[in-house]
Amino acid sequence: MPVPYARPDVAAADVDVSPMPAGPRRTPRAAMAAMVTVATLALLAGLSGCGKKAEPVEAVRPVRLLQLHSGAGKTAFEFSGEVRPRVESRLGFRVPGKISARLVDVGASVRKGQPLARLDPTDLALAEASARAQFDAAKTDRDLADSDLKRYRDLAAKNFISAAELSRRQATYDSAASRLEQAQANLRNQSNQTGYAVLAADADGVVTAVDAEVGQVVTAGQSVIRVAQIAEKEVAIGLPEDQVDMLRGIADVTVRTWAEPDRPLPGRVREISGAADPVTRTYPTRVSVPNPPADLRFGMTAVVTFTRTGESAAIRIPLTALLQDRGTNQVWIYQGAASGGTGTVKPVPVTLGDPQGNEIEVRQGLAPGQTIVTAGVHLLQPGQKVKPMQNATSAQPAQSAKPASNPASNPGAAAGSKG
């Protein structure tokens, strides 16, 4: 008897998939219908199992650690500045006139008394000649009055003239002598004026600027050439307003130039301005360099270092260990097995001090012996488990922070910090 054809729209539940009793063998069509039913049921069972969620796996993040140690309490403050002369003179002629010659250029080394520029001496020479002529005339009048006074004294001794006439002759002589002194002073002054036509250096130095050129008419005192004295040199820096009082009393000051950073030069704070610069809002400060070397040239860039020795020990941490959260500075502390922890981290607020290079001082919040995270601080969560990096390179000991021991030998120790 032929087996009826299995239609596709027949539900799986309507199909009998029970084992066939022993008897005649099924036809190929019946076997095919049974296989389709079994595959459909397996597919439905698989789809029903996809709705189950996999249990989350706790992430263990590798971090770099640093064990804190107190240092010697020394703090260095560095400020960039420029080498400048202590005395820079704006030299100008003491008389007005027209510049006829300029004898030096910018950068020239000059000696005391060396001519730098000249004025046209024509007018000054005429004025000097006029003063000399007045002097000669006054001298002639004085000599004539002196001769008359001598003759009248002889006549008065013989009672040939009255005492009043002798007094008049004495007054004439005194007036002529005074006019001579006046003419002599005027001649001396005019001679000086003629000498002022030559602008000379008042000290050994270097020409730093030229403010007037040949052919220009200048007034008395107008700046023509600037000369910086080489006897004393100093570095000009600017101090922030919150550190002026603290740095004022530091005596350990050194100066290094960018050209030779390995050669420290002793320095001394000569003056600190009482008013802040209106542009930079810093207080201009001059640090003098006693006995400066000859190769310390004006305009060179220098770094002034103030070294302060604190009364108590200080803790310094790398800047990479800081985390700012809602305006608060935080540091992650590692709670290792050696300290009774479970290998997790927790944030601790800290109070910061003065920075120094890539490190910063921590005044409150940390204690020597604690272990902090120095890398990956922005990816951590409170209570998260972390794994110290076994292959982390050990950092060199800083003034107040030293690398931790090898984590392989001490589970609670920290790996070295690497910036």
Ranges of beta strands (E only) in 193-267 are 198-200, 205-210, 217-218, 225-229, 233-239, 253-257, 265-266
Q: Grade residue 413 by pLDDT with cuts at 50, 70 and 90.
A: very low
Residue 404 has pLDDT above 50, yes or no: no
Residue 150 Cα to chain centre, angstroms: 81
Confidence of residue 29 (pLDDT cuts 50, 70, 90): low
Report CA torsion sign: 330, 331, 337, 340.
negative
**Per-residue pLDDT tens for 153-209?**
998 888 888 889 889 999 999 999 999 999 999 999 999 999 999 999 999 999 999
Range in 131-140, 256-265, 410-419 with the lowest mean pLDDT: 410-419
* Overall average pLDDT of the 323-341 stretch: 80
Terminal-residue alpha carbon distance, the chain: 88
Answer whether 137's CB lies under 8 Å from 183's CB: yes
Per-residue pLDDT at 393: 37
Largest Cα–Cα distance in the chain? Answer: 198
What is the C-alpha to C-alpha distance for residues 342 and 320, in angstroms, rounded to an integer?
A: 24
Q: How confident is the model at residue 82 (pLDDT cuts 50, 70, 90)?
A: very high
pLDDT of 210 reads: 95
Measure the CA angle with vertex 358, ends 355 and 362; round to 5°: 45
Q: Provide DSSP, 368-382.
A: TT-EEEEE-GGG--T
The answer to whether residue 72 scores a pLDDT higher than 60 is no
Average pLDDT over residues 252-278: 92
Q: Which domains does the chain have, with CATH numbers?
A: 77-86+229-309 (2.40.30.170), 89-116+201-228 (2.40.50.100), 121-196 (1.10.287.470)
pLDDT of residue 55: 55
**Residue 405 scores a pLDDT above 60:** no
- Mean pLDDT, the chain, whole residue set: 80
The residue type at 141: D
- The angle at the Cα of 53, spanning 50 to 56, to the nearest 5 degrees, equals 145
- Residue 10 burial (10 A CB sphere; 0-12, 13-18, 19+): exposed
Which pLDDT score is estimated for 214?
94
**What are the contacts of 350-354 at 24+ separation with CB within 8 A?**
352/322, 353/75, 353/314, 354/75, 354/77
- What pLDDT band is residue 136 in, cutting at 50, 70 and 90? very high
The pLDDT of residue 46 is above 90: no
Note the Cα 255 to chain centre separation in Å.
13
0.75 exceeded by the pTM? no
Chain-centroid distance of CA 165 in Å reads: 85
Share of the chain above pLDDT 90, in %: 42
The label of the residue with tokens 């036809």 reads 27
